[in-house]
Amino acid sequence: MQSSRRGATLALALSVLLGTTAAASAASSQVPVKLGVLADMSGIFSDIGGKGALEATRMAVEDFEKMPGGDALKVEVVSADALNKPDISSGIARKWFDSDGVDAVVDLPTSAISLAIAPLVKEKNKVALFTAAGTSDLTGKACTPNSVHWTYDTWALAHGTADAIVKQGGNSWFFLTVDFALGHSLENDASRVIQTDGGKVVGSVRHPTDTKDFSSYLLQAQGSGAKVVALANAGGDTITAIKQASEFGLTDGGQTLAGMLLFLSDIHSLGLQTAQGLQLTTGFYWDENEKTREFAKRFAARNGGRYPTMNHAGAYSATLAYLKAVEKVGSPKDGAAVVKAMRDAGTFDDPLFGKTSLRKDGRVTHPMMLVQVKKPSESTGPYDYYKVLATIPAEQAFHPLADSVCPLAK
């Protein structure tokens, strides 16, 4: 009896040892992947990206790990505050690539930062998932084989919002433009649409980032006589400008206010009483379907009750697509090969953006939506802010590949 017990004990110990060895072997065979979320964690764009972008990236990693083949990768996520400065962001990214083993960067909060990072990821053969920047130059003259521009761009915003407003009779425009790459690109792309549709731009004025007093700019806009005053800015600047335009009675005087780049978090900060009636273009709205609602509820539970912006959705979906491509390639080390695998996936049904594909110029195409902010009486609950006026098909939402100046598109 004692000998039998000893035998059973030895068999159990051997089984545990073999199981532990097998688990250790499986863990050691996992391919390490390191993602760096470089976002505005403390500035005027922190609500539209920031810690929410980090949380969305982590959600994508967790969801990938539950998928078939998800155990092939061992994914680590790190983060840093970009401080909205291209030089600081480039320094962080270079250190991540050279010393810290980061394979891909996510978010990149401004166009200027993204334009600085694009040549760096090409040089280091890493991957940039541009999910927060807007300039269409990222898939034009600044395109690289290592870059993926996911969520939106200034061409899509201009053709969604400006085209709709001109066709509604808003045929004369004045721009309040933030004086950096995003603002310039928004104004240029929208101006081309306005003029093509038979409208005209009667003037513009540029303001620095994080402007606290828009009074002099708004006076110029009022004095222009333009039917439409367009805000070619983002984040805190857009919120401040809209609030002060309301105080100035700009819309009471018959002018229309157009936000060329607005996010759900901006509407939440403004409140429906101030924001009602605004039209805008977005790539994502949390209340579009069951999949987007499920994601939004999970996100809000992890993010202090705040619902996701399209940039948060972009961070999630781009990360998920990237990890699937790494699993297919077998390694993250050749960034250009991973981006090619993302492109070779063809058109797929993304859970948040619908029918989605990656073009040769790095542009991710998916449907966009023209929406209008609801009146307070129309909203039935928290973050129930948008009425969808139109869905713009993917092939119409972004600039035609045939017109691209990206060398990769030729």
pLDDT in tens, 66-79: 999 999 999 999 99
pLDDT of 10 strictly over 80: no
pLDDT confidence bin for 260, thresholds 50/70/90: very high
pLDDT of 134 strictly over 60: yes
Q: Which pLDDT score, from 0 to 100, does residue 233 have?
A: 95
Q: Which pLDDT score, from 0 to 100, does residue 396 have?
A: 92
Please name each of the domains of the chain with its CATH number: 28-152+288-366 (3.40.50.2300), 155-282+369-395 (3.40.50.2300)
Q: What is the mean pLDDT of residues 313-328?
A: 98
Q: Which pLDDT score, from 0 to 100, does residue 374 have?
A: 96
Q: Which pLDDT score, from 0 to 100, does residue 4 have?
A: 53
Top-confidence residue, 24 or 125: 125
Please give the model's pTM, rounded to 2 decimal places. 0.90
Q: Which pLDDT score, from 0 to 100, does residue 44 have?
A: 92
- The single residue listed with the structure tokens 């797929």 is 348
Q: Which pLDDT score, from 0 to 100, does residue 252 have?
A: 87
Q: Which pLDDT score, from 0 to 100, does residue 251 have?
A: 86
pLDDT confidence bin for 28, thresholds 50/70/90: low
Query: For residues 379 and 342, what is the distance between their CA atoms, to the nearest angstrom?
Result: 38
pLDDT confidence bin for 18, thresholds 50/70/90: very low
Q: Which pLDDT score, from 0 to 100, does residue 359 have?
A: 97
Q: Which pLDDT score, from 0 to 100, does residue 3 have?
A: 52
Nearest to 364 by CA among 378, 352, 376: 352
Q: What is the mean pLDDT of residues 341-351?
A: 97
